[in-house]
Structure 1
Amino acid sequence: MKKNWKKVLLLGLLTVLTVGTLAACGSTGLDSGSSGSSAKTSKKASKDLKVGVSLSTLSNPFFVQVRSGISTLAKSKGTNIQVSDAQNDTAKQNNDIEDLIQKKVDVLIINPVDSSAITPAVKDANEAGIPVIAVDRSSDGGKVLTLVASNSTKGGEMAADYMIKKLGQNAKVAELQGIPGASATRERQKGFDNAVKGKLDLVTKQTAGFDRAKGLTTTENILQAHPDIVGIFSQNDEMALGAIQAVKASGKKITIVGFDGEAGAIKAIKAGTMSATVAQQPEKMGRLALQAAFDHFDGKKVKTNIESPLQLVTSDNVK
């Protein structure tokens, strides 16, 4: 009996030692308390960091400004960054991220094309011990250190409140939606749809993929099917700028509200062809994302959500 107890104790001790050894192996990421990884590493100066950046598209001025914010701060700190353009292709983005993982970057800053489709890449980064910072759109799976984004639900509500005041009760409106799998699409829709319920008549919601050309063609289709609409909420400014072309060709007068605050939208508001936009600060968003990486590798605690401010821009305050 004593021999059996000795065997049990010996096996238990070996198990504890094995688990402890495995836990210590492959520890390559700082744990800030909000990180998706419990692994730890030594601090790293900003000038010694290799930062991989994957953006959904660089065809959209909004994400060009996000890149600018990252690049400007990186240059001032002597940080090495590698930027890839997913061209709104989920497969390409996942491949780009796998390539950055193979290059052994210290941290990944990702703006997902699709919040669900990005999950495998985020999990691969987790397994490699590389912290992930999400920008503008979240990841549905895997663990991220932080999400740097505006409150898209609140932004949708801001757009709705403006349209209700401008158009009055039960006015017929349409909604141009972004990429179906993007968190920003879901959140802006949630904010807008809930706020207009019982106040505006939302006659149709159609996807235009955050794309200007699709915004034009989709709006043309909407105007043919619903010629009596008086307002359009577009979940980004690129689709709104496409909608402006369709509305102009139709000869109708329609209130168009966008989202982002990009230069083209501001110009359109000044010209009177667009009524308003919920303006984000994409350049600041990029800076906040990279600063979160610096703070993480400096051993500071990083919040799980870093909110970038919003402002409703209309003809009254556009100047």
Structure 2
Amino acid sequence: MRGRVLAVAAALTASLALSGCDRGGHTDLGLALSTMNNPFFVGIKEGAQAEAAARGLKINITDAQNDPTQQINQLETFTSQNVKAAVINPVDSDAAVPAVGVANRADVPVISIDRGVNGGKVGTTIASDNVAGGRLAAKTLAEALGGKGEVAFLEGQPGTSAARERGKGFEEGIKAYPGIRVVARQPADFDRAKGMDVMANMLQAHRGIGGVFAANDEMALGASKALGSASGGRVKVVAFDGTPDGVRAVRDGSLTATVAQQPRLLGKQAVEWAVRAAEGRPLPREVKVPVVLVTRDNAARFAD
């Protein structure tokens, strides 16, 4: 009994220390985002900011501009600010290992968000259920095509767990439809302009493409531009993320559907789990956030 009382007292002390009002200019939490040039990551930022403000915490949110070396510098900044926990959204799951190592050596607990880290000590990874989302995208695209036809797959940024997991789910799901053939697949780095260029090249080589799965909304919107008036009509396009631009495109019919993540919820949970990590509480290896399918029938519910 005495041990339990001491443990509770220690947790309360850690919590009070984390939420103290006057920290001499120090920062409570750090969040290193891979990029803010993407509405999805802006949503994560907004969710984290709102939750930190609700808890009276100071959070430093940084933008690596898709440069993994910047994330190393940003984790060094966090440790110099005496953060109690750090959250990293890796530019690359392998290249993020040295950044995590910076925090590990400073005894700062780390959690990752949206993408995993392939090394170092990470308390938990908070991410959408990307494999389930990939399967849902495959099912949606195949059914929109009546179970047959040629499709193209625009992959995300190589080296990220999100790209790998969405691809895994899509591949697993599409196997259930033997009449569907994936005739082209290529990374477009989660980028709209690259999505347009890759889609244009695919159409030159495969004029019979009737469906497209893009592993995020930005690539899908680029592909849609390359497809022109065929997008969402003759060529079915299924995306992933559920960003405001993606949902609007579903509403206007240029995208067939998008598998929506919940970025603000991801950001909120990042702060919640970072606080638990700072308090030394046990963490699960993974926290999966559900995805939902947005179609023209229900898109109004997701309007920004």
Which interval holds the TM-score relative to the shorter structure? 0.7 to 0.9
Number of equivalenced pairs:
281
- Say if 2:209 is the partner of 1:234: no
Output the amino acid matched with 1:317.
N
1:187 aligns with 2:168: no
Query: How does 1:41-190 map onto structure 2 within 5 Å?
Result: 43-45=14-16, 46-48=18-20, 50-190=28-168
Equivalent-residue separation in structure 1 for 2:282 and 2:102 (angstroms): 23
2:269 is matched with which residue: 284, 288, 292? 288
Q: Secondary structure at the match of 1:139?
A: coil
Max radius of gyration: which structure?
Answer: 1
Which deviations, in whole Å up to 9, do the C-alpha atoms of 1:41-78 show, x marking residues without a partner?
A: 96133423611110010010000010001101111221
Q: CA RMSD in A?
A: 2.0
CA distance in 2, matches of 1:166, 1:244: 16
Read off the aligned partner of 2:205 and give its amino acid letter: A
Q: Which residue does the alignment assign to 2:24? A: none
- Output the amino acid matched with 2:42: V
Cα pair 1:247 1:253 within 8 Å, conserved: no
Whether 1:265 and 2:234 are equivalent positions in the alignment is no
How far is the alpha carbon of 1:199 from its aligned partner? Answer: 4.4
| TM-score, normalization by structure 1 | 0.83
Q: Hey, what does 1:310 align to over in structure 2?
A: 291
CA-CA distance at 1:227 after TM superposition: 1.0
Task: For 1:227 and 1:304, locate their aligned partners in 2 and report how far apart those are by CA, in whole Å.
Answer: 44
Q: Return 49-58 or 250-259, whichever deviates more.
A: 250-259
Does the Cα contact within 8 Å between 2:196 and 2:226 map onto a contact in 1? Answer: yes
Q: Which one-letter code corresponds to 1:215 in the other structure?
A: G
Equivalent residue of 2:120, what SS? coil
Cα deviation, residue 305, structure 1: 1.4
The one-letter amino acid of 1:157's match is: R
Displacement of 1:294 in angstroms is: 2.0
Deviation at 1:310, TM superposition (A): 0.6
1:210 paired with 2:190, answer yes
Q: Match of 1:240, as an amino acid?
A: A
Cα distance in 1 for residues equivalent to 2:179 and 2:66: 35
**What are the residue-to-residue correspondences of 1:1-40 with 2, within 5 Å?**
none
Alignment check: 8 A CA contact 1:172 1:202 kept: yes
Gaps of 5+ in 1: 1-30, 32-39
Does the residue aligned with 1:186 lie in a helix, a strand or coil?
Answer: helix
1:101 Cα shift?
2.3
Alpha-carbon distance between aligned partners in 1 of 2:275 and 2:52, rounded to the nearest angstrom: 10
TM norm structure 2: 0.87
Select the residue among 180, 196, 203 that pairs with 1:200. 180
Q: In 2, distance between residues paired with 1:127 and 1:199? A: 53
CA distance in 1, matches of 2:248, 2:35: 22
Question: What letter corresponds to residue 276 of structure 2 in structure 1?
Answer: D
Percent sequence identity over aligned pairs: 42
User: C-alpha separation between the residues in 2 aligned to 1:93 and 1:302?
Assistant: 23
2:213 corresponds to which letter in structure 1? F
Deviation at 1:149, TM superposition (A): 0.7
Compute the displacement of 1:215 (Å): 0.7
Instruction: Quote the offset at 1:293 in angstroms.
Output: 1.7
Q: What is the CA-CA distance between 1:299 and the residue it aligns to?
A: 4.8
Structure 1 position 117, deviation (Å): 0.6
For residues 198-227 of structure 1, give each alpha carbon's deviation from its aligned partner in whole angstroms, at most 9, with x where no partner exists.
Answer: 342001111110011111111111111111
Cα drift, residue 249 of structure 1: 6.6
Aligned mates of 1:257, 1:189 — CA distance in 2: 13
Structure 1 range deviating more: 213-222 or 296-305: 296-305
**Which blocks of at least 5 consecutive residues in structure 2 are unaligned?**
1-6, 21-26
